[in-house]
Amino acid sequence: MGTLEEKVAIVSGSGRGIGREIALKLAREGASVVVNDLDPDPAEQTAADIKAAGGNAVVCAGSVVEDGFAERFVQTATESFGGLDIIVNNAGYTWDTVIQKMTDEQWDAIVDVHLKAPFQILRAAQPWFKEHPVDHHRKVVNVSSVSGVFGNPGQANYSAAKAGVIGLTKTMAKEWGRYKVNVNAVAYGFILTRMTEAVAGDDAFVEIEGRKIKVGINPDRAAMAARTIPFGRPGTPVEAAGAVYLLCTPESDYVNAQCLVVDGGQR
């Protein structure tokens, strides 16, 4: 029996990277998982891997910022598995530049995906939590960043959104205590994903919702950042997922309104 047996989880952005590892970890511990990704293929792969390992998973593909997605996400969990116990707001990406070069489109896109979408998903879940009380504690984990805690040059949009996630977390923890819902956040530091890989040159891009977004960081900057971490290396997606899992376990039932910094002790 896993620690999350008979629980139902929704994890946004769980087709790749940290989100995928979160979905796999929760499933290994017994949770039934609704997998989401902007692209159907990686979402289907994560769900297939969960099922191959003996777990339960369904896919709810699509952009977290599209109209009606939040309600569809929650409904997929309640209709597929009969409940909703864990929400992990993980989906997002970065679109960086200094403020004088940042467009309104850049600002809005990043704030929408990192802050407005989690707000909408939580709002969509509230009726279910209110109308279907349970004996155990339900868990929400919102993914923030050290950029939202300490700031980071070139990330005014991302830093502001991730700081907002912490404010949203602390407020919802106070609003939802009466429903026995714990609401916490994790603030990641340097975690090695496709967005943070060391890439030479300026030609590494991904396409997100029709936008060409630069990914990766300069190898020299990556090496310098790694040297400031006591372990001498960035974290892995598996390690990042472990922090979310901790906040979903029964052992965290009296942990509420907290932001756990997961940066290997860098700051």
Give the residue numbers marked as catalytic: 158
3-state DSSP of 222-246: HHHHHHCCCCCCCECHHHHHHHHHH
* DSSP states of the chain: --TTTT-EEEETT-SSHHHHHHHHHHHHTT-EEEE--SSHHHHHHHHHHHHHTT--EEE--S-TTSTTHHHHHHHHHHHHHS---EEEE-------B-GGG--HHHHHHHHIIIIIHHHHHHHHHHHHHHHS--SSPEEEEEEEEHHHHH--TTBHHHHHHHHHHHHHHHHHHHHHGGGTEEEEEEEE-SB-STTT-B-SSS--EEEETTEEEE--B-HHHHHHHHHTSTTSSPBPHHHHHHHHHHTTSGGGTT--S-EEEESTT--
How far is C-alpha 217 from the geometric centre of its chain's CA atoms?
21
